[in-house]
Amino acid sequence: MDFTFTEEQQAAVDAAKAVFAGVSPDAVPSPALTPGAVAEDLDRPLWARLAAADLLGLVVSPEHGGAGLDPVALCLVLRESARVLARVPLLETSAVAMAVERYAPRETAAALLPRVARGELVLTAASQGRTGHDPAERAVTARRDGTGWILDGVQTAVPWAHGADVLAVPAHTPEGAAVLALVPRTHDGLGLAAQYSTSGELLAELTLDAVRLDGADVIDAEGAWEWLRELLTTGTCALALGLGEAVLTMTSQYTGKREQFGHPVATFQAVAVQAADRYIDLRAMEVTLWQAAWRLGGGAEGAALPAAGDVAVAKIWASEGVRRVVQTAQHLHGGFGADTDYPLHRYHAWAKHLELSLGPAAAHEDALGDLLAAHPLG
């Protein structure tokens, strides 16, 4: 087995590092000091730099002006973006673009994907449902109306919705099938109400009131929403990994300089053991992430357990691991970690948002158990 990344994947990492090198986590007001959103829009200058570096077309096929890389490459770039808390919908736009290319009619892909690769079109996805706990596709109904569709329902906590051009909205038909609707943000019948994440970012409660769409704007291919949901989840695990690695590096640097009793606190056994435990968490998050991303890209086809099992394992480690990493970092920083002039509290707020987005590990363990019961490995 060869566990090294390809030259193309590594080139994507190098390009991402160059773009994100100039990004400051303190570029917007602190969420701890801001009652509403820290900003009304995504980081448009950074979005333009990502487009100029061809990173917005990373997973778009060459046919539509992209590089045609896989979910592993996307997760590598997302990992770098999270290290600096980049305020861009890179995950949502890339994931929806991949789903469109994989499942949508050719004319729909041809209309959207070249504009995505050029940075002209921002995409996002509604994946939290009405409450954040129920399946997202159950929150919206989709019924046929001649050659088109009519959608009704509510989705909560939609990221970047106020700045996106097209929103991918899962819905269910009267027959119980899941479809994926591509709804323009300014479409008649679509409403956006302001919500705020723990990181201070502007979210939206999305309301669909008899929204009418052409048939080409609704992807009814089997498995489209399920695949997109798993890719969004895996990308969120990549964000958690990058954030956790940045936090552990920050903690290592601080404890290496902070002295008590004439010695750096990093040399104290209690401090070293806690840091080592968090390092193990991050390595487990990393290996399960790459396994999930590889499976979504088509790896190990015909395996006894579907890719959803690997995604569940990645979620278990990421949701628990990112919380433990930032909590330990706060503890080892002491009171300094709560100082709003120091960036650690921002990482803590983002980590909590990622943890809530992923959901509790116990739920993923139940889902994994169900998969194992349905697909005996023996």
Confidence of residue 1 (pLDDT cuts 50, 70, 90): low
Residue 128 in any domain: the answer is no
- Domain end: 98, 121, 144, which one? 121
Query: How much is the pLDDT for 95?
Result: 98
- Summarize the confidence of residues 14-21 as an average pLDDT: 98
Looking at the fold, whether 153 and 279 belong to one and the same domain comes out as no
Residues 233 and 359 in one domain: yes
Task: Give the C-alpha distances (Å, rounded to integers) separating 242 from 173, 230, 249, 286, 348.
Answer: 38, 19, 11, 9, 13
Determine the Cα–Cα distance for residues 243 and 91; give it in Å rounded to an integer.
14
Average pLDDT, integer, range 285-293: 96
Mean pLDDT in residue range 85-114 = 97
Binned at pLDDT 50, 70 and 90, residue 120 comes out as: very high
pLDDT at 363: 83
Q: Pick 117 or 304 by higher pLDDT.
A: 117
More confident residue, 97 or 374: 97
Binned at pLDDT 50, 70 and 90, residue 304 comes out as confident
Residues 278 and 363 grouped into a single domain: yes
Determine the average pLDDT of the residues in 82-90.
Answer: 98
Q: Is residue 167 part of a domain?
A: yes
- pLDDT for 378 equals 61
Does residue 351 share a domain with residue 236? yes
209/290 same-domain check: no
Q: Tell me the C-alpha to C-alpha distance, in Å, between residue 263 and each of 50, 193, 255, 258, 260.
A: 43, 53, 10, 8, 5
Together in a domain, 254 and 365: yes
For residue 377, is pLDDT > 60?
yes
Overall average pLDDT of the 346-358 stretch: 95
Q: What residues contact residue 265 under an 8 Å CB cut-off, 6+ apart? A: 255, 258, 259, 271, 332
Q: Does residue 271 form part of some domain?
A: yes
The rounded mean pLDDT for the chain is: 94
Contacts of 365 (CB under 8 A, 6+ apart): 312, 316
Specify whether 64 is located in the same domain as 111: yes
Domain boundary among 93, 121, 149: 121
How many Cβ atoms from other residues are within 10 Å of residue 251's Cβ?
Answer: 25
- Per-residue pLDDT, 256: 86
Are 211 and 249 members of one domain? Answer: no
Q: How many domains does the chain have?
A: 3
pLDDT at residue 174, as a whole number: 96
Confidence of residue 2 (pLDDT cuts 50, 70, 90): low
Q: For residue 24, is it within any domain? A: yes
Do 43 and 167 fall into the same domain?
Answer: no
For residue 242, the enclosing domain spans: 224-374
The pLDDT, as a whole number, for residue 62 is: 97
Percent of the chain with pLDDT over 90: 82
| Sequence-distant (≥ 6) Cβ neighbours of residue 117 within 8 angstroms | 51, 54, 56, 57, 60, 64, 65, 66
pLDDT (average), residues 323-347: 92
Is 129 a domain residue?
A: no
Structure tokens at 13: 């990492």
How far is it, in rounded angstroms, from Cα 43 to Cα 322? Answer: 24
351 occurs within a structural domain: yes
Tens of pLDDT along 157-178? 999 999 999 999 999 999 999 9
Identity of residue 101: E
Report pLDDT digits (tens) over 24-50.
999 999 999 999 999 999 999 999 999
Answer whether residue 245 is part of any domain: yes
- CATH number for 79: 1.10.540.10
Least confident of 168-182, 241-255, 292-306, 330-344: 292-306
Residue 132's pLDDT is what?
Answer: 76
Domain with residue 346: its CATH number is 1.20.140.10
pLDDT in tens, 221-261: 999 999 999 999 999 999 999 999 999 999 999 888 887 88
| Model confidence at 376: pLDDT above 90 | no
State which of 168, 185, 219 marks the end of a domain.
219
Q: What is the mean pLDDT of residues 357-366?
A: 86
Alpha-carbon distance values, 316 to 120, 310, 367 (Å): 35, 10, 10
When pLDDT is averaged across residues 270-297 and rounded to a whole number, the result is 95
